[in-house]
């Protein structure tokens, strides 16, 4: 066989390796028989045997070539792979390190070395080796079209591109990672977590996947599992700003505000000109109740980057803060820029709306609020029909008979106190009152019940929740209750008998809560429709409250909420205790006593002095609940009544006085 014919034969065998390693081994064996000692043919034979599971024969073939080509890094790589597959890590390590001595930029050798270190529990060495592999291969830059499609919300197109690649190469961790990012976009967090864990199983040193997993857990406010991920990342890159700010956020979520502040205090010393670092430092200080220092940090962020809209909004979001005339002019100047990004623009619109409302210029204030909301609404995907349909399916499923058939099911714990309802309805105030009691611990808005609903199919297409709840056995309902208690335990730092879950959107899942935790207390924080809806309209939420960026969406959402809660009042009479914000203001001692009675708690005077209670508060009302009760906000919406026609129309009869 002449050299050209042999080269073509070798190419054909190499092509077979991917699809049919056994056939490639037979073809390579024939070439070796015809050309004894031919290095390329023997190398192909060894590779084919390794992929076919003939590990001893593969190692023998590679050893033969290595003897004749001692300076070949590729041969040493293949020999190392075969030895690793045989369970001979020491010999494999020697072969792989020799390959890298010969060719330091041999990417595949770094990947194999990373896996070997992982098998030995040598995590720093594992991550270091994989980082070298990733840098040499530009692994995360191979799917530009798919990544662009995800960024542009063309999710079906991105999914098709990635699935095509994974059909050919199911172990391609870069494709799996992008598919996980796509799942996060769709709020399918269970699938995203599965994909990222698969990435890390295939490539234990894949730091980008590990960071994505930590970020995804943060999106769900699952702080406890974030910390070991971030600690490992920081071993490799102790100065990484993204890792450290996310670590601080995890500690803050867990209520460890001191640790969160300490981390970011060090960060701003090291990165004194980094506006994002100063903003996160401000967030940590605010959560810890150190408001004056938070203001200084936010102002430093805005001063370093005058177009940084989120820094300005962080100041506006303090509620008790007032901008100077110079700061108002600085914000207006930034809005006049043609090159200002959409996110910075809507943050500045909300900030100016807040500032001008405080100054009594309500027409100009509403104009800024309206522009900010319009920009935000255009950037999100929210379908009010989906919410209405969920409410209707819940009312159809959760009947008196349905609950009666499952009486006694669930976990018997009476530890949780759920505060549900719309944002800006007084839930943080109720939480602060209850957390002032010696038997109650305030935590935060916990995501666990919403996560259960996602697992049960609320975001499936078509949705299978809440109907899927009907298929849960008594044992499964009890297990979900136990799981809720287990998952929320890291947030309970004081060891008190009861704890508060203030996730307002849990009103959508009251039926599930009742079934898995039948003895938990449920409190509905209610505020007058126009006041509540407009307060949401002028509040820019970072994420999740997608119904709040349109007066029409807000009115419809409020109607759906009222309808569902009225249904539960009917089928579970007395189960939910409602606290009307306006009634709380009018008869504070009486409402507090009734609230404590519902929770089975003895009256404690400290609950009336809630503003004296020092604890971490991480919602938009954090400063308001640190001062005595005030009534100024009850009728604030009336300043904007001339522009609330669309909201009144959407609310219908609920917009009438006294509703």
Q: Is 572 helix (H, G, I), strand (E, B) or coil?
A: coil
Residue holding tokens 């041969």? 75
Q: Output the CA angle 382-640-360, nearest 5 degrees.
A: 125
pLDDT of residue 656: 85
Average of pLDDT values for 556-585? 97
Which two three-digit tokens encode residue 171?
Answer: 């172990």
Q: Is 551 helix (H, G, I), strand (E, B) or coil?
A: helix
May I ask the CATH class of domain 3-139?
mainly alpha
pLDDT of residue 626: 46
C-alpha 449/C-alpha 456 separation (Å) is 11
Average of pLDDT values for 250-270? 92
Average of pLDDT values for 248-259? 90
CATH 1.25.40.10 occupies which residues in the chain? 3-139
CATH 3.40.50.300 occupies which residues in the chain? 384-655
Give CA 174 to chain center in angstroms. Answer: 20
Q: 659: which DSSP letter?
A: -
For every residue of 360-425, DSSP letters joined together read T-HHHHHHHHHHHHHHHHHHS---HHHHHHHHHHHHHH--HHHHHHTTT-S-----EEEEES-TTS
Q: Mean pLDDT across the chain, nearest whole number?
A: 88
Average of pLDDT values for 95-120? 91
pLDDT of residue 398: 98
pLDDT, one tens digit per residue, over 510-552 is 999 999 999 999 999 999 999 999 999 999 987 778 999 999 9
pLDDT of residue 270: 94
Q: What is the 3-state secondary structure (H, E, C) of 454-476?
A: HHCCCCCCCCCCCHHHHHCCHHH
Q: Is 127 helix (H, G, I), strand (E, B) or coil?
A: helix
- Report residue 16's pLDDT band, with 50, 70 and 90 as the boundaries: low
How many CB atoms sit inside 10 A of residue 291's CB? 17
C-alpha 130/C-alpha 125 separation (Å) is 9
Contact 434, 595 (CB under 8 A): yes
pLDDT, one tens digit per residue, over 589-639 is 999 999 999 999 999 999 999 888 764 554 444 444 445 565 666 788 999
Specify the higher pLDDT residue, 12 or 547: 547
May I ask the CATH class of domain 384-655?
alpha beta
């Amino acid at each position: 066989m002449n050299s050209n014919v042999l080269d073509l034969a070798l190419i054909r065998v190499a092509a077979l390796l991917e699809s049919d390693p056994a056939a490639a081994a037979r073809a390579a064996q024939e070439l070796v028989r015809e050309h004894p000692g031919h290095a390329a043919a023997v190398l192909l034979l060894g590779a084919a045997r390794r992929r076919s599971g003939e590990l001893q024969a593969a190692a023998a073939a590679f050893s033969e070539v290595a003897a004749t080509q001692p300076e070949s890094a590729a041969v040493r790589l293949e020999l190392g792979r075969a030895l690793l597959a045989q369970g001979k890590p020491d010999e494999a390590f020697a072969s792989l390190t020799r390959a890298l001595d010969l060719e330091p930029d041999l990417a595949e050798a770094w990947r194999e070395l990373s896996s070997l270190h992982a098998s030995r529990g040598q995590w720093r060495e594992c991550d270091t080796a994989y980082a070298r592999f990733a840098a040499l291969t530009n692994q995360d830059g191979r799917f530009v079209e798919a990544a662009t499609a995800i960024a542009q919300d063309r999710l079906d197109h991105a999914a098709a591109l990635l699935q095509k690649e994974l059909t050919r190469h199911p172990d391609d961790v870069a494709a799996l990672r992008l598919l996980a990012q796509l799942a996060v976009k769709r709020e399918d967090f269970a699938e995203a977590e599965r994909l990222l864990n698969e990435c890390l199983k295939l490539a234990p040193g894949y730091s980008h996947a590990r960071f994505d997993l930590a970020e995804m857990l943060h999106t769900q406010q699952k702080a406890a599992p974030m910390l070991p991920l971030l600690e490992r990342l920081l071993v490799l890159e102790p100065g990484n700003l993204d890792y450290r700010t996310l670590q601080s956020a995890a500690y803050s979520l867990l209520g460890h505000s001191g640790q969160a502040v300490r981390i970011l205090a060090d960060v701003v010393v090291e990165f004194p000109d980094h506006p994002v670092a100063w903003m996160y430092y401000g967030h940590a200080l605010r959560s810890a109740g150190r408001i004056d220092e938070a203001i200084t940090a936010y102002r430093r962020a805005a001063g370093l980057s005058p177009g940084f809209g989120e820094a300005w909004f962080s100041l506006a979001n303090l509620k008790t803060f007032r901008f100077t005339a110079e700061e108002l002019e600085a914000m207006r100047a930034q809005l006049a820029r043609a090159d200002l990004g959409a996110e910075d623009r809507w943050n500045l619109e909300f900030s100016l709306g807040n500032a001008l409302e405080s100054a009594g210029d309500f027409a100009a204030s509403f104009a800024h609020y309206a522009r900010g909301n319009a920009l935000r609404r255009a950037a999100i995907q929210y379908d009010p029909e989906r919410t209405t349909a969920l409410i209707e399916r819940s009312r159809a499923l959760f009947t008196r008979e349905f609950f009666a058939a499952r009486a006694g099911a669930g976990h018997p714990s009476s530890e949780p106190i759920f505060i549900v309802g719309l944002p800006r309805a007084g839930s943080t105030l109720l939480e602060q009152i209850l957390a002032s009691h010696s038997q109650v611990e305030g935590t935060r808005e916990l995501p666990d019940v919403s996560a259960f609903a996602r697992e049960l199919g609320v975001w499936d297409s078509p949705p299978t929740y809440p109907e899927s709840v009907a298929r849960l056995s008594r044992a499964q309902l009890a297990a979900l209750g136990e799981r809720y208690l287990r998952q929320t335990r890291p947030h309970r730092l004081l060891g008190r008998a009861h704890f508060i879950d203030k996730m307002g959107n849990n009103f959508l899942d009251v039926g599930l809560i009742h079934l898995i935790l039948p003895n938990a207390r449920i409190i509905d924080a209610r505020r007058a429709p126009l006041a509540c809806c407009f307060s949401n309209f002028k509040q820019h939420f970072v994420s999740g409250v997608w119904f709040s960026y349109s007066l029409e969406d807000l009115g419809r959402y409020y109607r759906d909420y009222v309808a569902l809660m009225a249904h539960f009042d009917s089928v579970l009479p007395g189960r939910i205790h409602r606290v009307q914000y306006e009634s709380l203001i009018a008869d504070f001692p009486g409402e507090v006593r009734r609230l404590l009675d519902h929770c089975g708690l003895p009256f404690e005077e400290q609950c009336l002095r809630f503003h004296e209670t020092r604890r971490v508060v991480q919602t938009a009302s954090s400063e308001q609940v640190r001062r005595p009760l005030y009534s100024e906000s009850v009728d604030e919406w009336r300043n904007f009544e001339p522009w609330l026609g669309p909201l009144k129309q959407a609310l219908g009869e609920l917009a009438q006085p006294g509703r």
